[in-house]
């Protein structure tokens, strides 16, 4: 049964009327038309659906929308814009870390949340932090270099 709930997404409050058990990913994509988070596996295995919930990287494909009420949700769209990408987004552009691009939402969201807590990580720490995100194209080395570049700027988002 649908219920009206308020969600704070990318610093804006949105009212949605959905079943409380609906996964947040579907609400973000279908109701709010935010396409940064991707559907990959639906099992919290690939990381393509990663968002920030109160600054922490969370897989939105397994998070019921009712669990997100009262929290600050940030999607890839909330980090930066095409005209003014965030330092993390710019680092991914500069390192040409994208091949097919499907995993990049999750990589950027996971990496930016990680750098917020670990501003000067080692290469191994970056690799471990991104361990829950899958990339089929094999741009892993460029992704790691992008996170290292973003860490050098001193700003994670």
Q: Give the tens place of pLDDT for each residue, 72-81.
A: 999 999 999 9
Which tens digit of pLDDT belongs to each residue from 90-108? 999 999 999 998 999 999 9
Domain covering 3-77 in this structure, CATH number: 3.10.20.30
For residue 99, CA distances in Å to 28, 67, 76, 77, 104 come to: 24, 33, 17, 19, 9
Is residue 156 pLDDT above 90, yes or no?
Answer: no
The answer to whether the predicted template modeling score (pTM) of the entire model surpasses 0.85 is yes
Q: What tokens does 38 get?
A: 């991707």
Three-state secondary structure of the chain: CCEEEEEEECCEEEEEEECCCCEHHHHHHHHCCCCCCCCCCCCCCCCCCEEEECCEEEEHHHCEHHHHCCCEEECHHHHCCCCCCCHHHHHHHHCCCCCCCCCHHHHHHHHHHHHHHCCCCCHHHHHHHCCCCCCCCCCHHHHHHHHHHHHHHCCCC
Please report the pLDDT score of residue 65 as a whole number: 98
For 48-84, write each residue's pLDDT tens digit: 999 999 999 999 999 999 999 999 999 999 999 999 9
Averaged pLDDT score across all residues of the chain: 95
> What was the pLDDT predicted at 138?
85
Domain limits, the chain: 3-77, 80-153
> Over the Cα atoms of the chain, what is R_g?
15
| Predicted pLDDT of residue 89 | 96
Higher local confidence (pLDDT), 136 or 12: 12
CA dihedral (113, 119, 121, 127) in degrees, to 10, reads: 20
Q: Rounded mean pLDDT of 9-18?
A: 98
Give the model's confidence band at 157: pLDDT under 50 very low, under 70 low, under 90 confident, else very high: low
| Domain 80-153: homologous superfamily in CATH | [2Fe-2S]-binding domain (1.10.150.120)
For the chain, what percent of residues have pLDDT higher than 90?
92
Over range 22-28, report the average pLDDT.
Answer: 98
**Three-state SS letters, 43-78:** CCCCCCCEEEECCEEEEHHHCEHHHHCCCEEECHHH
Calculate mean pLDDT across residues 138-157.
Answer: 87
């Amino acid at each position: 049964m649908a219920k009206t709930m308020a969600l704070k997404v990318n610093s804006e409050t949105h009212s949605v009327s959905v079943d409380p058990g609906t996964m947040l990913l579907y609400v973000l994509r279908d109701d709010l038309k935010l396409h940064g988070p991707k559907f990959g596996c639906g099992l919290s295995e690939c990381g393509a659906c990663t968002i920030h919930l109160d600054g922490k990287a969370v897989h939105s494909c397994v998070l019921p929308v009712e669990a997100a009420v009262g929290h600050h949700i940030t999607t890839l769209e909330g980090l930066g814009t095409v005209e003014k990408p965030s330092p993390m987004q710019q680092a991914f552009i500069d390192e040409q870390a994208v091949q097919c691009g499907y995993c990049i939402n999750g990589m950027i969201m996971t990496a930016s949340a990680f750098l917020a807590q670990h501003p000067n990580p080692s290469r191994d720490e970056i690799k471990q932090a991104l361990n829950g995100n899958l990339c089929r194209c094999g741009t892993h080395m460029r992704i790691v270099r992008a996170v290292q570049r973003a860490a050098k700027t001193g700003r994670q988002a």
